Amino acid sequence: MKYVIAIIRPERLEEVKHELQKVEVNRLTVSSASGYGEQKGHLEVYRSLELEVNLLEKLRLDIAVNDDFLQPTIEAIKRGAKTNTGCIGDGKIFVLPLEDVIRIRTGETGSDAI
Amino acid sequence: MKYVIAIIRPERLEEVKHELQKVEVNRLTVSSASGYGEQKGHLEVYRSLELEVNLLEKLRLDIAVNDDFLQPTIEAIKRGAKTNTGCIGDGKIFVLPLEDVIRIRTGETGSDAI
Amino acid sequence: MKYVIAIIRPERLEEVKHELQKVEVNRLTVSSASGYGEQKGHLEVYRSLELEVNLLEKLRLDIAVNDDFLQPTIEAIKRGAKTNTGCIGDGKIFVLPLEDVIRIRTGETGSDAI
Amino acid sequence: MAIEAADTAWVLISSALVLLMLPGLALFYGGMVRRKNVLSSMMHSFVAMGIIAVEWVIIGYSLAFGTGNWFIGGLEHVFLRGVDLYSVSGTIPTYAFIAFQGMFAVITPALISGAVVGRIKFKSYIAFITLWSLIVYAPVCHWVWGGGFLTGEALDFAGGTVVHITSGISALTILIFLGRRKGYGTDSIRPHNITLTLLGTGLLWFGWFGFNAGSALAADEIAALAFMTTFVAPAAAGLAWMAIEWFRTGKPTALGFATGILAGLVGITPAAGFVTPMAAIIIGAAAGSICYGAVVLKGKLGYDDSLDVFGVHGVGGITGALLTGVFASVGGTGLLLGNSHQLLIQFEGVAITILYAIACTIIIGFVIDKTMGVKIDENAENIGLDRTQHGEAAYNI
Amino acid sequence: MAIEAADTAWVLISSALVLLMLPGLALFYGGMVRRKNVLSSMMHSFVAMGIIAVEWVIIGYSLAFGTGNWFIGGLEHVFLRGVDLYSVSGTIPTYAFIAFQGMFAVITPALISGAVVGRIKFKSYIAFITLWSLIVYAPVCHWVWGGGFLTGEALDFAGGTVVHITSGISALTILIFLGRRKGYGTDSIRPHNITLTLLGTGLLWFGWFGFNAGSALAADEIAALAFMTTFVAPAAAGLAWMAIEWFRTGKPTALGFATGILAGLVGITPAAGFVTPMAAIIIGAAAGSICYGAVVLKGKLGYDDSLDVFGVHGVGGITGALLTGVFASVGGTGLLLGNSHQLLIQFEGVAITILYAIACTIIIGFVIDKTMGVKIDENAENIGLDRTQHGEAAYNI
Amino acid sequence: MAIEAADTAWVLISSALVLLMLPGLALFYGGMVRRKNVLSSMMHSFVAMGIIAVEWVIIGYSLAFGTGNWFIGGLEHVFLRGVDLYSVSGTIPTYAFIAFQGMFAVITPALISGAVVGRIKFKSYIAFITLWSLIVYAPVCHWVWGGGFLTGEALDFAGGTVVHITSGISALTILIFLGRRKGYGTDSIRPHNITLTLLGTGLLWFGWFGFNAGSALAADEIAALAFMTTFVAPAAAGLAWMAIEWFRTGKPTALGFATGILAGLVGITPAAGFVTPMAAIIIGAAAGSICYGAVVLKGKLGYDDSLDVFGVHGVGGITGALLTGVFASVGGTGLLLGNSHQLLIQFEGVAITILYAIACTIIIGFVIDKTMGVKIDENAENIGLDRTQHGEAAYNI
Ligand SMILES: Nc1ncnc2c1ncn2[C@@H]1O[C@H](COP(=O)(O)OP(=O)(O)O)[C@@H](O)[C@H]1O
Ligand SMILES: Nc1ncnc2c1ncn2[C@@H]1O[C@H](COP(=O)(O)OP(=O)(O)O)[C@@H](O)[C@H]1O
Ligand SMILES: Nc1ncnc2c1ncn2[C@@H]1O[C@H](COP(=O)(O)OP(=O)(O)O)[C@@H](O)[C@H]1O
C-alpha cells in the first residue's frame, strides 16, 4: 500500500477529483497549504508597494491506495492538475510507503480498509 | 518507530485525546482537513438550494510513536473516534514507517526523541 | 529520498527558510497545525477566566529531499527553529522514507523531480 | 421659501443611512460568495459608490429630476447648474434632496451585482452600471418621482418599482450573457462567511430606515409610520421565510432568515408610508413567502441568479408594488378601500417597468458583450476574480 | 397637540440606532463563541428582531403602555388598535414612540442569549423569549415607565432595571435548566473571533447613544446630557476594567476592555439623564470594576454564564440603578444631595424586579423543559448548534 | 438664548456618527495588519476612546475651547466647571458641543496608530496619545477653532489641519523612534483580511458625514452642502486612485479603491462647507491622485509608515487645506475668486502646524523612549503584539 501526497493548485481540485473518480479512487483527504518552490515572480501590489509573493496557496491531497491503484492514481492526478501551459507551480506528487490502514468504524485493517 | 496519521470527526477530538492520554501518548499534532469518502448524502440547504455536501470537515492527527506504543495508540484512537452508531465517516488510521525523529531543543534523535 | 516533516514555532518560519536557503533547499510546503506536547502552562485569560492552553499554534513544514541533502536540511531546520533559550516547544523533525516523487509539469520522477 | 431645520436633519441623516447600505450590501453579498471572489463582489458595491455618485451630480440628477418630458428629465441641471446653497426642494435644501436621491441612484445598480458574481469582468461591470444608471434608472426614476407619466399615479413610496423591480429584472436579464458559474449546484459553491452576510443584513435593515422613512422627506407623521412599517414588515417576512423553510427542510437557517428579512424590506418599500403597521405585517409575510417560492423555483429551473437578486428584489418589489395597491390606506387608497383602479395603475407601472428594464438590459448587455466581453474565461473563473481582476487575496496569513 | 419635527427626527434616528444594537449584540456574542456555534448565537439576536417586533405591535405594547393597573397595562391597544397616523405621545407621533419602545423590547430578551449559547435548543429559545417578553418584560416595563407602581418613583432613565436587571437576572436563572457547556473551563472553549466582538462593541456603543439619549424623547438639553454621560461612562469603565486586569494578570486584553465598555454602558443606562458627566465617570468606573469582580467570582463559583450576561448586565444594571439613587442631581435628587429616600426606592425597585424575574424565569424554564426540553443532547453539543440546529456552517472554503 | 432642537438633534447624531468612526478605523487598520497584530491594532483605536474621552472632559476641552490666549485655552472648564445643563453654545446645548468636539479629540491620535502597528509597546502608545492630545491636539484645536490666532483666519471646516495634518505629520515623525517592522517589504507582511478594511472604509465614510456635515453645528444649508461634498469628493478620489493604479499596475485593487476613498474624505474635510460640489469633485480627484503619489514615494524611500498615515492623512490634509484656499466660494473666498490672500493664510496655517507637530512629537517620543521605551523587542515582534502585549489571540478554533 502507498500513501500518496500531492501538492496541487487550488483551482485544479475539481478536475483532479474528477479524474480520480474515473479511475475509481473515491476517497481522499484535502488540506490547505502554502508552497514555496521554483514558482516565483508572482507580484502583488498593496497600495503600490510591490511584493514578490513566494508563499503560494496550494492544496495538499492525501490518498492512501493499494499498490495496483498507484499508477492510475498518479496518472489521474497528473491529468487533472496540469494546466494547459504546463507552468511552474503545477505541483508535485510524493509516494510514501504505507504499512497499515485501519477503518475505525469496522476495525478492518490492511488493503481492505483503504 | 511509526508515524500514525488519523483522520477523525472534529467533534471526537476531546475523546480521542482523552483515550490517548490514558495510554500515555501525550504528544500529537492536529490539523484541519476536508475529507471525501464513502460518507455522502449529508445535505445542506442554502436558500432552498440543496447541495449534497461530500467535502466534510475532518481533523487530522499526526502521532509519532515507538513501536511498542503503536497498538495501544491505534486502539485508543479507535475507542475515542468511534461514534455510538459506528457510522460511515468515523475515520481512518494510517500507519507509516518512521526512520528518525529529532527533538530540536535538545538535539536528541531516535526513539528517545519521540 | 526522504520526506521530512518538521513542526516548528510559527514565529521561526522566516529564520528556518533562511537557513534552508543557505543549504540550497528551496522547495517546501507549509501548513498550519496545532500541537499538543510537553509544552504546557501557557496561560490565557479570557475575562478573568484562566485557561491553560495546551493546544498551541504550530507550523508544519514538509520537505522532500534527496538523501545527501537530509543531514544539511535537518541541521538547517535546527539552527533556524531553536530559540535562544532552547525552550520546550521548539519543535520536532520527523524523517520518513520517500519512494517516489513526480513533478506534474514535466512528468519527471525520482530524485530529479525533487 | 425657508427650509425646515428638522426636516433637513432628518433627510441628511437618512441619506447617510442609505449610504451605509452600500457596505451593508457588500457584506451581504460578499459573505455568500466563495473566498476567492469576496473582494470582487464587495468592489461591485464600492465602485458603484464611486461611479454613480459622480455620474449623478454630473448628469443623472438632471435626467431624473429635471423638468424634461413624460419620459425623461431635461439637461438643465447638468453639473448641478442652477442649484446653489439656497435652492430649496420642499422644506429642505436642494443639496440635501440631491444627496438623498443620489444614494438611491448608487444602490440600485449595485443590487444587480449579486446575480453576476464570480464571472463578470470588472471593467464590463463598470461599463454596465454606468450605462444602466443613465438608460434604465434615470428614466424610471423620472417616470415615478421626477414628473414623468407615473408621477402622482402609481404609488411607490420609497422605490419598489424604481429601485427593486428595475434591478431585480435587469439582474435576471443580464444572465443571458453570463450563464452559470462553473460548478453551480455542487458543494464547492457555498457561502464562505455567513457572519458577514448577517452583519450585512443588520446594516441593510438599519440603513433601510433612512431609505423608507427618509422618503417622507420630512420628520413628520408619515416618516414615523414608514419607520414603523419598516420595523415590522421585515420581522414578519423573516419569520415567514423561517417557518416555511423549517417546515420544508427541517432546519431554520440563518441565511434563510436573513434573506427573509431582506425580502420583507423590499416588499414594504413601495408601501412604507401608505399602509398601517398591521398591513405591513401582512405585506412582509407575503413578501417573505413569495420570495421563498421564487428562490425555490430558481433552484428548479436551474438558472444561476447567484445571490437571488431577481428572487428577492424583483419578486419582492413586484409583490410590494401590487400589495400597495391593495392595502394603501394612508395618503392613497387601495383595493381594500374599494379603489380597484389603484391596483390597476400599480400593475401597469410594474409591467411597463419590467418590459423597459428587460429591453434596455439586453441592449446594454449585447453592446458590452460584443465590445469588451462580459464573462471572464474559465481559467480566471477557476482562480477567482479577486486574484485575476484585482490582483489581491482577501485573506492572508 | 402638534408634534415637534425635531423631536420626531431624534426619536426616529434613535430607534434606528437601537435596532442596530441587535446586529451589534449578535457580533459581540458571536465572536466569543466557538466557530461551530457562531450562527446559532447570532440567530438568537436576529430571531428576536423577528419575533418580538411582531409580538410587540400585536400585544406587548398594549401590555406595557396600555392604561391597565399598577401591575400591567390593558388590552386596549392590542393590534395597535386606537393608534393612528395622528396619534401623539408627548411631542412625537405615537408610532415613533411605539417603534422606539419596541426596540427596547426586542433587545432585552436577546441579551439573555449570551448565557445559553452552545447548548440551548433553538425552538426552546424561541419559546422562551416569546413567553419571557410577555411575562417578564411587559410588566416590568409597565411598572417603571408605563404607569405602573414604580413610575415616577424609581429613577430609571433608559432601562437599567427594565432592560438590564431583568435580562441579567433571568440569564443566571435559566442556567438551572442548562448547566454548563461540555468542556467548560478548558482551552477548547475560546472566543473564535475577537475582531467580531470588538466590532460588536463599537456598534453597541454607537447604538447606545440612541438608547440613552433617545430616551429623553426630545432633542433637548436632557438628550445632550444623556449623550455626554453615555460618552464618558463607558470610557471610564473600559479604563477601570483594563487597569484592574493589567494589574492582576499582567496583560490588558482587548476582550476585557470591550467588556468594560459594555459594563459602563449598562451602568450609566439608568442614570444617563439624571447625573452630571463627572458623576458619570465615577459610575462608569464603578460599573467596570464591580462587573470585573462579578466575572471573576463567576469563574471561581464555576457556573457557566457563558458570556457573562449576569456579570455585566445583571450586576452592571444593579450598580447603575443604585448609583443613580446616589448621584442623581438633574431632574431628580439622590443621596449626595441629601435625598436618601431615593436610594431606598431604587433599592426597592431593584429587589422587586430581581425576585419577579427569578420567579417567572423558573416557571417559564420549567414549563419549556418539561414540554420540549431546553438543552440539546451531548452529541449535538459536540457537533455544534450551527450544524445541528440550523443545518449550516458559518465558514466554508 | 434658547437652543434649537433640530440643530441639537443634528449635532448629537453627528457626534454618534463620529464615534462610530473609531471602530471603523479599528477595522480599517486591523484588516491591513497581520493576524498576529490585529487586536493590538484595533485596541489602539479603542483605547483612545477610553483615554481621550476622559481626558477631554477633565482638561482637554478647557485647553482647546477655554478663553485663554492666542496659543492655548484656559483652565476655567477643567472638570467641565462652569458648564451645566442649560449652558448653550451657538444654538445647541454646550454638552452637545463638548461631546461633538470630544469625538474629534478621540479620533485624531487614533489615526496616528496606523504608522506604528506591529512594533509599539502598548503602554508607550497609551503614554504617547495621552501626552500628544494635550500638547499637540489641544493647542492646534485652540488656534484654529477655539479662539486662537488662526481662528477666523485659516479656513478649516472640519479639521483638515486640526485633525489630519497634525496626526499625519506626527505619524511620520514618531517613526524616528520605531524604525521598520521586521520583514518589511516581503510577502510575509500582507493585509490579513481586506474585508475588514472595506467594512471599515464604509463605516468611516458613513461617520464622516457626521464629521463634516455636523461641523456646520446646525441643520442648515451649510450642513447640506458639506454633506453633498462629502458624498462626491471621496467618490472622485476613489475613482482617481483606481484609475492611476489600474493604468500603472494593470489591476484596480479593492484596497487601493478604499484608500482612495479615505484620501478623498481627508481632502474634502477642510473644504467641506466652503466649496461647491463640483469643486469637491476636483479636490477629491486631486487628493486621490496626490496621496497615491505620496504612497508610491514612501515605497521608494523605504520608510515604514505601515498603513500610510502620512501618505493619506498628512498629504491629504495638506492638499485639502491648500485647495480650500483655492476653491473656497461659500462663506469665504479663495484664489479662484481672486482672494490670493486666503491661500497664503492656508499655507501659513499648514506650515506652522507641521513644524509644531514635528517638534512636539520628537520631544514626546524622546521622553517616552528614554523612560519606558517605544519599540518592543524582536522576539515579541516575531510572536506578535496580540500575544505579547495583550495575552490574546484574535482567532481561535
Ligand atoms: N521538495 C519539495 N518538498 C516539499 N514540497 C515541495 C517540494 N517541491 C515542490 N513542493 C511543493 O509543490 C509546489 C509546486 O512546486 P513547483 O514550484 O511547481 O515545483 P517545480 O518547479 O519543481 O515543478 C510547491 O509550491 C511546494 O508546495
Ligand atoms: N484511502 C484514503 N485516503 C485518504 N484519505 C482517506 C481514505 N479513506 C478515507 N479517508 C479519509 O477518512 C475520512 C473518513 O472516511 P470514511 O468516509 O468514513 O471512510 P470509510 O467509509 O472507508 O470508513 C474521509 O473523509 C477521508 O478524509
Ligand atoms: N510524538 C509526536 N507526534 C506528533 N507530533 C509531535 C510529537 N512530539 C512533538 N510533536 C509536535 O511538536 C510540537 C513541539 O513539541 P514539544 O512540546 O516541544 O516536544 P518536546 O517537549 O518533546 O520537545 C508539539 O506541539 C507537537 O505538535
Decide: A63 in ligand 2 pocket, CB within 6 A.
yes
Closest residue to B44, CB basis, from E36, E183, E392: E392
From A13, A20, A27, give the residue whose CB has the most ligand 2 atoms within 8 Å, as the site to mutate.
Answer: A27
- E292 at C interface, C-beta within 8 A: yes
Task: Spell out the residues 6+ positions from residue C68 whose beta carbon is closer than 8 angstroms to its own.
Answer: none
Cα distances (Å, whole numbers) of residue E259 to D88, E29, E240, E310, F53? 47, 11, 11, 12, 17
**Residue F248, Cβ neighbours under 10 Å: how many?**
12
Looking at the complex, report in whole angstroms how far the Cα of residue C69 sits from the nearest Cα belonging to chain B. Answer: 15
CB contact under 8 A, B30 and C31: no
Could you tell me the CATH number of the domain that includes residue B34?
3.30.70.120
Instruction: Determine the distance in angstroms separating the CA of D268 from the nearest CA of chain F, rounded to an integer.
Output: 24
Q: Determine contact: F13 vs chain A, CB below 8 A.
A: no
Element of type H or E holding A57 = strand A56-65
Classify the C-alpha dihedral C68-C71-C77-C79 as positive or negative. negative
Nine-digit cell string for D152: 402622482
Residue E10 pLDDT exceeds 90: yes
For residue B58, give the chain E residue with the closest CA: E383
Least confident range from A103-107, B44-48, E248-252, F89-93: namely B44-48
CA distance F211 to F189: 32
Owner of C-alpha cell 471525501: B36
Give the helix/strand (H/E) hosting E28. Answer: helix E5-32
pLDDT of residue C67: 96
Alpha-carbon gap, residue D182 to A12, rounded angstroms: 12
Contact list in D for residue B50 (CB cut-off 8 A) is: 249, 299
F96 has a pLDDT exceeding 60: yes
* CB atoms near residue D394 (< 10 Å): 30
pLDDT, mean of residues D236-248: 97
Residue pLDDT, tens place only, A52-64? 777 889 999 999 9
- Which grid cell is F85? 445643563
Q: Is residue D188 less than 8 Å (CB to CB) from chain A?
A: yes
pLDDT (average), residues F144-154 = 95
Residue B95 CA to ligand 2 centre (angstroms):
14
- For residues A17 and A30, give the distance between their C-alpha atoms in angstroms, rounded to a whole number: 11
Q: Is B28 on the interface with A (CB under 8 A)?
A: no
Nearest-CB residue to F23 (from E202, E224, E231): E202
Residues of A with Cβ-Cβ distance to B82 under 8 angstroms: 104-105
The helix (H) or strand (E) run that includes residue B102 is strand B100-103
Helix locations, chain F, DSSP H = 5-32, 38-55, 61-65, 94-112, 122-132, 138-144, 166-174, 194-213, 221-249, 254-268, 277-301, 309, 315-327, 340-371, 378-383, 385-390
Interface membership of A32 toward C (CB under 8 Å): yes
Nearest residue by C-alpha to atom 21 in ligand 1: A38
pLDDT in tens, F21-30: 999 999 999 9
User: Is E379 near chain B, with CB under 8 Å?
Assistant: yes
Q: How confident is the model at residue C50 (pLDDT cuts 50, 70, 90)?
A: confident
Question: How close, in Å, is residue D42 to chain F by CA atoms?
Answer: 8
> Contact D214/D265 with Cβ under 8 angstroms?
no
Give pLDDT, residue B47. Answer: 83
**Contacts A57 to D, Cβ<8 Å:** 393
Atom of ligand 2 nearest to the CA of B33: 27
Q: Which residues line ligand 3 (CB under 6 A)?
A: B 27-29, 62-64, 103, 105, 114; C 7, 35-39, 56, 58, 88-92
Chain C, window 50-89: residues with a beta carbon less than 8 angstroms from a chain F beta carbon: 55, 57, 83
**C54 CB-near residues (< 8 Å, 6+ apart):** C36, C39, C40, C42, E187
ipTM of the complex: 0.97
- Is residue E7 within 8 Å of E95, Cβ to Cβ? no
Contact of A34 with chain D, judged by CB distance below 8 Å, is answered with: yes
For A46-95, what is each residue's pLDDT tens digit? 887 778 777 889 999 999 999 999 999 999 999 999 987 767 889 999 99
Q: Is F10 exposed, middle or buried (0-12, 13-18, 19+ CB in 10 A)?
A: buried
Asked if A28 has any chain B CB less than 8 Å from its own CB, the reply is: yes
Burial of F246 (0-12, 13-18, 19+ CB in 10 A): middle
Contact D9, F219 (CB under 8 A): yes
> Between 1.10.645.10, 3.40.50.720, 1.10.3430.10, 3.40.50.20, what CATH number should domain E5-390 receive?
1.10.3430.10
Nearest CA-CA distance, residue B62 and chain D, Å: 23
Residue C11 pLDDT greater than 80, yes or no: yes
Q: Do E245 and C48 touch (CB under 8 A)?
A: yes
**Residue F1 binned pLDDT confidence (cut-offs 50, 70, 90):** low
Categorize the per-residue pLDDT at E1 as very low, low, confident or very high, splitting at 50, 70 and 90.
Answer: low
The full set of domain ranges for chain D reads 5-390
Distance C27 CA to ligand 1 centre (A): 5
> How much is the pLDDT for E224?
98
- Give the residue-averaged pLDDT of E1-12: 94
Q: Is B114 helix (H, G, I), strand (E, B) or coil?
A: coil
pLDDT value, residue E187:
76
Q: Note whether E383 contacts B45, CB cutoff 8 Å.
A: no
> What does the alpha-carbon distance between residue E3 and residue E175 come to, in Å, rounded to a whole number?
46
B40 touches ligand 2 (CB under 6 Å): no
pLDDT, mean over chain E = 97
- Write the pLDDT tens digit of every residue in E22-73: 999 999 999 999 999 999 999 999 999 999 999 999 999 999 999 999 999 9
Per-residue model confidence (pLDDT) at position B21: 92
What is the C-alpha to C-alpha distance for residues E237 and E295, in angstroms, rounded to an integer? 14
Ligand 3: centre distance to CA F239 (Å): 52
List, for residues B50-92, the tens digit of each pLDDT value.
787 778 899 999 999 999 999 999 999 999 999 877 678 899 9
CB contact under 8 A, B49 and D299: yes
Residue E301: burial class (beta carbons within 10 Å; 0-12, 13-18, 19+): exposed
Q: Is D292 on the interface with B (CB under 8 A)?
A: yes
| Among candidates C11, C34, C44 on the partner chain, residue whose Cβ is nearest the Cβ of F383 | C11
Name the closest residue on chain D to residue B50, using Cα atoms: D185
Count the domains in chain A: 1
Can you tell me which atom of ligand 1 is nearest the CA of A33?
Answer: 27
Q: How far is the CA of B76 from the centre of ligand 3 (A)?
A: 19
| pLDDT at site A86 | 66
pLDDT of residue F183: 86
Interatomic CA distance for residues B71 and B75, integer angstroms? 6
Give yes or no for a contact between D337 and D275, defined as CB atoms under 8 angstroms apart. Answer: no
Q: Please, which residues have CB within 8 angstroms of residue D360's CB and are 6 or more apart in sequence?
A: D132, D135, D136, D170
Chain D contacts in chain A segment 85-114 (CB below 8 A): none
pLDDT at B41: 55
Report CA(F38)–ligand 3 centroid distance (Å): 28
Contacts of range E363-371, beta carbons closer than 8 Å, 24 or more positions apart: E363/E135, E364/E128, E364/E131, E364/E132, E364/E135, E365/E128, E365/E173, E365/E174, E365/E176, E365/E177, E366/E177, E367/E131, E368/E124, E368/E127, E368/E128, E368/E131, E368/E177, E369/E177
E253 closest CB neighbour out of C45, C51, C52: C45
State how far residue E280 is from chain B, nearest Cα, in angstroms. 47
Which numbered atom of ligand 2 lies nearest the CA of A114?
1
Indicate yes or no: CB of E51 within 8 angstroms of CB of D235: yes
Nearest to A34 by CA among A9, A55, A6: A55
Cell of D308: 437571488
Summarised one tens digit per residue, pLDDT across range D19-44 is 999 999 999 999 999 999 999 999 99
The cell numbers describing E366, all together, are 420549567
Q: Could you give the CA distance from residue D107 to residue D212 in angstroms, rounded to a whole number? A: 14
Residue A101 CA, ligand 3 centroid: distance in Å: 23
pLDDT band, very low/low/confident/very high, at B40 (cuts 50, 70, 90)? low
- The whole-angstrom separation of Cα D238 and Cα D292 is 10
Q: Which domain holds residue B86?
A: 2-113
Could you identify the atom of ligand 3 that is nearest to the CA of residue C56?
A: 25
CA distance F265 to F284: 8
Chain F CB contacts of D21 below 8 Å? none
Could you tell me if D106 and D53 are in contact, meaning their C-beta atoms sit under 8 angstroms apart?
yes
Q: Is the pLDDT confidence value at C43 over 90? A: no
- What is the mean pLDDT of the segment spanning E366-372? 98
Which ligand 3 atom is nearest residue B103's CA? 23
Reported confidence tier of residue C41, pLDDT bands at 50, 70, 90: low
Distance in Å, CA C88 to ligand 3 centroid: 9
**C19 min Cα distance to partner chain F (Å):** 16
For residue F218, pLDDT over 60 is answered with yes
CB contact under 8 A, C55 and E191: no
**Residue D271 backbone phi and psi in degrees, to 5:** -100, -10
Is residue D101 within 8 A of residue D64, CB to CB? The reply is yes
Q: What is the mean pLDDT of chain D?
A: 97
Q: B–D: how many Cβ contacts below 8 A? A: 40
